[in-house]
Amino acid sequence: MAYAGFSVISYSASDAKVTLLLRTGSGYAATTISLRWNGGDWKLLPSSQGSLHTPVTLAQGPRGHILWEA
């Protein structure tokens, strides 16, 4: 798997929720991360269970995501 792009689900001055698009051998998958602005930078915000991201799920494709150049 390789990171292919992202989309911003929600954003404020202190918090953001972002979907990361992953390219797999058979298509695309996605996971969501939560971020918090702290100390002048965005930092991952673990869930209450300690996870850094949601479970990875299949994605229909890159539509709706900003793609990173390879």
The DSSP bridge partners found for residue 28 are: 23, 59
pTM greater than 0.85: yes
Res. 6: pLDDT tops 80? yes
pLDDT score at 69: 80
Is residue 1 within 8 Å of residue 29, measured between CB atoms?
yes
**1: confidence class by pLDDT, cuts 50, 70, 90:** confident
What are the domain boundaries of the chain?
A: 2-59
pLDDT, tens digit, 9 for 90 and up, residues 9-68: 999 999 999 999 999 999 999 999 999 999 999 999 999 999 999 999 999 999 999 999
The span from the CA of 15 to the CA of 44, in Å, is 10
Instruction: Name every residue whose Cβ is closer than 8 Å to that of residue 61 and which is 6 or more positions away in sequence.
Output: 27, 28
pLDDT score at 70: 62
